[in-house]
Structure 1
Amino acid sequence: MPAMIRPLLLGLAALGISALLYSRAQAGGDHYFPPVKHAQTLAECGSCHLAFPASMLPAASWEKMMANLDQHFGDDASLDPQTTAAITRYLVDNAGDRGGRSYGRKLLRGVAADEAPQRITTLPKWVKEHREVPKSDWKKKDVGSKANCAACHKEAEQGYFEED
Structure 2
Amino acid sequence: MINAGVATEWGVDPADVHAELLRRAYEVNVFGVVTVTRAAIPLLRRSAAARVVNTASPLGSLTLMTDPASPVSQSSLLAYNSSKAALNALTVMYANVLRPDGILVNAANPGLVATDLNGFTAGATTDGLTVRTPERGAEVPVRLALLGPDGPTGRFFGDDEFAVAGTVPW
| Same fold per superposition (TM over 0.5) | no
- TM-score with structure 1 length normalisation? 0.24
- Bigger share in helix: 1
- TM-score with structure 2 length normalisation? 0.24
Larger Rg: 1
- Bigger share in strand: 2
